[in-house]
Amino acid sequence: MDKRNRRNKPQGWIKVAKERIEILFSEARISANKKPKRANRYVKLARKIGMKYNVRIPREHRREFCHKCSSYLLPGKNCTVRTNSKTKCVEYICGECKAINRFGYSKEQK
């Protein structure tokens, strides 16, 4: 028997998990306008894969879903996007659960 820690997954599995997360987010983007429930399901599956294989969701995809209810966010359709100059963040307000997802920003350095 192969003796390894349960937390350590083989590198091949981690690579496949990252690819599947990318595929699920691209499919969610495609189906978001016509079938929002399907897009939400894809996001939930991607998050589940990430948790199972201990893989982080890529930075570019973190703004695409609500961190509370796991729904796929489309600005102008089911979420509101605002900038808050006091806290120096961009706020995504989910239209379904009204949760506020904040993502920081800073001024460009010259």
Average pLDDT, consecutive stretches of 10 residues, N- to C-terminus, the chain (110 residues) = 58 93 97 95 97 94 95 94 94 96 84
CB 71 within 8 A of CB 64: no
Model confidence, pTM = 0.84
3-state secondary structure of 50: helix
CA-based nearest residue to 9, from 55, 53, 46: 53
Cα–Cα distances (Å) from 91 to 52, 63, 65, 75, 109, in that order, read 28, 10, 12, 11, 22
